[in-house]
Structure 1
Amino acid sequence: MSAATHRNFIVGLTGGIGSGKSTVAQGFAAHGVCVVDADEIAHQLTAPGGAAMPAITAEFGQTMQQADGAMDRAAMRQLVFTDSSARSRLEAILHPMIRTECATQLARASSPYALLMVPLLIESAAYRARCDRILVVDCPPEIQLQRLMARSALSEAEARRIMAAQTSREARLAAATEVIDNSGEHAALQARIDALHQHYLLESAKPFVKS
């Protein structure tokens, strides 16, 4: 017999690097929505004194640790792009910790729905399974490239390499339940955020029926 119950309603937020996920997340946060940011959690885990640093230095050596105790991101980025096994070893350390902290923060969320921001959401069946909706932030690759180069002071070749390592734009759009275009004016972006916020409030208010 089915019964209505209450649970956290989760909107997964993703998009290609440089698409503007953080800007969109800030727009929802301004409405009082709890935002759980997997990237921010990863930064905390690899900051000075971060919980992942002992395992990272044990696996990769002290050369991957800066003088202040944080992970040397530039050195690690170079390593994982030239050594696929290094990427897998780093993910084996970080991903379980990130998932655990995401779950903890989502469980504490008090807003009608929560936003789970994960760059690799489409690639992860575990994250997708947690989400009631998938919101993809989209913009043309040329704009992505310009933003990434400007933000991270990367060469065009480096930026293109990072973009190519992610899932395709087509795959992200195919997985989306909603899409938000971040290639135009901020006013248009904010209007779309406002409309989606109202939509998600309505969706989250519906009773969840468990078989």
Structure 2
Amino acid sequence: MLDFYFWPTPNGYKPLIFLEEVGLDYRIKPVNIMAGDQFRPEFLKISPNNRMPAIVDGDRTLFESGAILLYLSEKTKQFLPPKDTARYEVVQWLMWQMGGLGPMMGQANYFIKYAELDIPYAKNRYFKETERLLGVLNKQLNDKDYIVGGYSIADMAVYPWALEADDLSVDLSKFPHIADWLTRMGDRPAIKRAYAIGEPIAANVKVDADAKAILFGTAK
């Protein structure tokens, strides 16, 4: 039984989608990031960067959602081509999400919705970079059902973040191939199950000032 340390954020959903796709036995260990669970000593032993998700699979402990997806795909031999060009095409788009889309959308979300100071330059800078990256993804999806042709961990990594574009008031009509892909992804039974499992976990958590301070590491 795999222990999955989870909270319903884009990064949290990435491994949850995989787990639901392949049907591995797992149990969710909620990490309430609004209550500061990510800073508890017992969790830091698993994830020293005080971030979820993380997994414990027997004697294997992993943090970072991209590393978890790679591990799970190699463990199950699913959703990652075994070798050569196709494998690295998937890996490069996984890295694109980890190093680009996720961080830029995260910063846009912070400065637009949560920052105590109104900094127009930061809002504009990260929103524009988010749009640029979505343009890259839209072009990639021009003639493909999925990011690298066949459904893979690249799609699982990108989907929960791309889904947040509407929450940032990104005009998805400018990115029609992404809009079609989001619909295609959202119709997958495993993705529906993942969100049905995840959403109730934080349903009653209020994002008040103290919670935001904990979430963004500014608590005194």
Does the TM-score normalized on the shorter chain lie above 0.5? no
Max Rg structure: 1
Higher relative contact order (CA 8 A, sep 6+): 1
TM-score relative to the length of structure 1: 0.34
Q: Which has the higher helix share?
A: 2
